[in-house]
Amino acid sequence: MQRKTKVGYQGAKGAYSHKASKALFKNAEHIGFETFEELTDALCEGRIDKAVMPISNSNAGRVFSAHNLIFEKNLYIVDEFFLRVEHNLLARNRDIKNIKYAYSHPQALAQSSKFLRKNKLQEAAFSDTALAAKFVSEQDRDDIAAIASDLAAKEYGLQIVAKNIENDKDNTTRFVVLARQIKIPTTKTNVITSVFFITKNIPAALYKALGGFATENINLLNIESFVPMKRNGRAKFYLEFEAHPEQENAKRALDELKFYSEELRVLGVYKERKHR
């Protein structure tokens, strides 16, 4: 009997990362880890086969340190996934009249602020949306609820008092699937390439490094900088562009990027998801 693929995610059961993991790998064994560091270490050590990690949110921006960890651990992006964040009010029973306090991560509370004000619910900050749901399920109280996913309701036996209570109905988190080895798509259409690089210490290095992409008419999807706090620390950059690295124009653009960089590494080549 073939063993199940082991897929790791950060958070408790019922977290949005868990929901993304289950959507991507329906027949896998899903394993939660407390931190991103523990998640990526488990992948590096072969205790899991894939890792699902959030890297950005349409409201909150990038997930701090995610790209840096991928680079430092020598891991690769092999897929992307977009999850619409749907917040729900979860409680032991469905009667909202008894509820006075809503527990959740501060970000989820802020993203559901209109619903909370309308229903005069007092915010109670918690470290994690799924852990808030777990906490509510363990208390013998009708005056508390959690803001979390529908999966959390299922995992902890809670009732969904109100669905989709988030302020922004377009709130979306982008996840990437990480692996120990790179996987290059055979098709060259609708492909994203992710790279990490450190520019040389020369004037206008970043401008010159990216010049090849403009010359070769390649669309840049995302560029982010990581500036170390230590003295003389060199800025690192994460870049995504819309092309396969084996295309001739992409090769020329990457050659120019490499010429103006002290270090350059391809982090992943993967199919573009339809959400874009």
Domain locations along the chain: 6-84+171-179, 88-162, 191-271
Q: Residue 274 has what pLDDT?
A: 76
Question: Contact, 153 vs 88, CB < 8 A?
Answer: yes
Which residues are within 8 A (CB) of 153 and not within 5 positions of it... i.e. 6 or more apart? 14, 88, 90, 133, 159, 160
Question: Contact, 206 vs 160, CB < 8 A?
Answer: no
Q: Residue 68 has what pLDDT?
A: 84
Estimate the crossing angle of helix 205-215 against helix 248-259, to 10 degrees: 170
Statement: 88-162 belongs to CATH 3.40.190.10: yes
Dist CA 93 CA 96 (whole Å): 8
The answer to whether 6-84+171-179 and 191-271 have equal CATH topology is no
Per-residue pLDDT tens listing for the chain (276 residues): 678 999 999 999 999 999 999 999 999 999 999 999 999 999 999 999 999 999 998 877 777 778 888 989 999 999 999 999 999 999 998 889 999 999 999 999 999 999 999 999 999 999 899 999 999 999 999 999 999 999 999 999 999 999 999 999 889 999 999 999 999 999 999 999 999 999 998 899 999 999 999 999 999 999 998 876 666 667 789 999 999 999 999 999 999 999 999 999 999 999 998 765
| CATH superfamily assigned to domain 6-84+171-179 | Periplasmic binding protein-like II (3.40.190.10)
Dist CA 68 CA 58 (whole Å): 20
Dist CA 51 CA 68 (whole Å): 15
The CATH class, in words, for 191-271 is alpha beta
**Residue whose token pair is 């970000």:** 107
For residue 30, the Cα-to-chain-centroid distance in whole angstroms is: 16
For residue 128, report the phi and psi dihedrals to the nearest 5 degrees.
Answer: -160, 145
Question: Contact, 157 vs 23, CB < 8 A?
Answer: no
pLDDT tens sequence across 93-138: 888 999 999 999 999 999 999 999 999 999 999 989 999 999 999 9
Residues in the chain: 276
- The two most distant CA atoms of the chain are separated, in Å, by 65
